[in-house]
Structures are given as C-alpha cells and as structure tokens.
C-alpha cells in the first residue's frame, strides 16, 4: 500500500472482529514499530502483547471504568460545538463505548511502554521517544488491513494494569493498541484544512497555497 494512502486512511477502528490475528502479523507490525526514531537512538521501548482472555477481561473492565469517568466529567459535551461537531462527537462517543464493551474480544491488546532514565522529566517531549513507534505500528497494521486505535483510558487504572502484566512501576505505559480485523471500512477522517494550521516564517503568516 502507498504510504500516503495508509496515512490518510488510518482511522481509529474500534469495532473489531474476534477473529484471530496470527503471531506472524503481530511480529510484522512490531518490527515496523522498532524502526522508529527515538532520542539518541536509545530505543528505550518495550511492547507487551496481551492475548490471555482473563487478562483482557480485567483490562476491559478498567478501561470501561476509565471511559465512564471521562464521560461523567462532561467530556465532549461542550456547548460551543456546531451541530456537525456535536454529531461527530456523539459518533465518537458511541464507537468508544462499543470498544469499551467489546475490548476483551479484541484478539490482541498491545501496550507500548517507555523506560525513562532516572530523573527524567515528564514534559510533553517525554512521549517523543515512543509515539513515533506507536504510529509506525498503527500504519503497518493499516497496511495489513488490521484495525487499531491509540487508547489511553486504561491509565485511570495504570497501577493495576502494570501489576497485572508485571510492568515495573517506573516504566511508562504510553498507549494501549487493541488490534484486530475491522468490521467497518477504512476511510479518511475529518481534519482541519492544512492552511489553517500552517504558518510561513512567522506565527500567523498563512501560506499562499
């Protein structure tokens, strides 16, 4: 698949079939992940592939609780949304709920972890040594026809997840990717126009193109 097509059609695919995903494919997408850049080429990442049914069930429970808490906080219910934006937010909410309700049925859950050096600060740049690998993983999955979603809502129960999977407490779980064969079709997601988010030479100076 052309890389631009894979990028453009990499949607969050939350409705997944329970059909198995062979180890060879899991290995392939993880191999794409570890070709990513990392600060100083330290490659301080680790990936925990969860297939065990009981472990997936417990993670799904914690994930559902995370979604429940997020929704209870009023997430996505901003009064300033246009009717189109509100409808899109409602679609995302419904599909997020579906993923939460069916997460244990996803054939694979992949935790993408980062080992921070002692004393490292937790600012926004911390993630830059793991999210390129996460994106590579998802793009490779897209090229294989596998659906993924970058999720973080399990982090309401991060300590419990780490204990369940034996992940040391000083390791950061950057994302959990449920992966499987999608029920729906891939397509392009809504994005702001490029011109709205690009400046030339100075902030605010929009391009002529």
Ligand X SMILES: Cc1cc2nc3c(=O)[nH]c(=O)nc-3n(C[C@H](O)[C@H](O)[C@H](O)COP(=O)(O)O)c2cc1C
Residue number, 12 or 209, with CB nearest to ligand X: 12
The reply to whether 18 sits near ligand X by the rule CB under 6 A is no
CA dist 52 and 119 (Å) reads 34
The reply to whether 60 sits near ligand X by the rule CB under 6 A is no
Binding ligand X by CB under 6 A: which of 96, 114, 138, 161? 96
The reply to whether 161 sits near ligand X by the rule CB under 6 A is no
The reply to whether 152 sits near ligand X by the rule CB under 6 A is yes
Of 123, 114, 13, 14, nearest to 63 by C-alpha is: 14
Binding ligand X by CB under 6 A: which of 14, 102, 142, 162? 14
Residue with tokens 């397509």: 187
The reply to whether 148 sits near ligand X by the rule CB under 6 A is no
Binding ligand X by CB under 6 A: which of 92, 170, 198, 206? 92
How many chain residues are in contact with ligand X, going by CB under 6 A? 12
Strand 45-50 relative to strand 108-115: parallel, antiparallel, unpaired? antiparallel
Q: Write down the H helix ranges in 74-185.
A: 83-102, 131-143, 158-165
- Which of these segments, 41-49, 77-85, 101-109, 147-155, binds ligand X (CB under 6 A)? 147-155
Least distance in angstroms from the C-beta of 208 to ligand X:
28
- Which of these segments, 24-32, 74-82, 109-117, 151-159, binds ligand X (CB under 6 A)? 151-159
The reply to whether 151 sits near ligand X by the rule CB under 6 A is yes
How distant is the alpha carbon of residue 170 from its chain centre?
21
Sign of CA dihedral 16, 75, 68, 84: negative
The reply to whether 149 sits near ligand X by the rule CB under 6 A is yes
Binding ligand X by CB under 6 A: which of 71, 86, 150, 171? 150
Sign of CA dihedral 56, 58, 59, 64: positive
Token pair, residue 71, equals: 């929704």
The reply to whether 12 sits near ligand X by the rule CB under 6 A is yes
Strand 147-148 relative to strand 108-115: parallel, antiparallel, unpaired? unpaired
40: which residues sit within 8 A by CB, 6+ positions away? none
User: Under the rule (CB under 6 A), what is the footprint of ligand X?
Assistant: 11-12, 14, 92, 96, 99, 149-153, 189
């Amino acid at each position: 698949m052309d890389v631009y097509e894979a990028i453009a059609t990499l949607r969050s695919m939350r409705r997944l079939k329970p059909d198995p995903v062979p180890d060879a494919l899991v290995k392939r997408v993880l191999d794409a992940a570890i070709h990513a850049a990392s600060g100083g080429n330290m490659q301080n990442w680790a990936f925990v592939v969860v297939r065990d049914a009981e472990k997936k069930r417990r993670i799904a429970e914690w994930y559902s609780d995370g979604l429940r808490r997020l929704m209870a906080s009023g997430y996505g219910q901003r009064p300033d949304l246009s009717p189109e934006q509100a409808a899109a937010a409602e679609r995302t909410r419904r599909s997020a709920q579906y993923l939460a309700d069916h997460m244990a049925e996803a054939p694979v859950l992949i935790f993408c972890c980062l080992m921070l050096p002692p004393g490292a600060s937790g600012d926004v740049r911390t993630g830059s040594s793991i999210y390129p690998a996460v994106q590579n993983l998802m793009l490779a999955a897209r090229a294989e026809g596998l659906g993924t979603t970058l999720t973080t809502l399990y982090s309401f129960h991060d300590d419990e997840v780490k204990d369940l999977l034996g992940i040391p407490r000083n390791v950061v779980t950057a994302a959990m990717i449920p992966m499987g064969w999608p029920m729906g079709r891939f397509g392009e997601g809504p994005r702001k126009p490029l011109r709205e988010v690009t400046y030339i030479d100075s902030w605010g100076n929009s391009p002529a193109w």
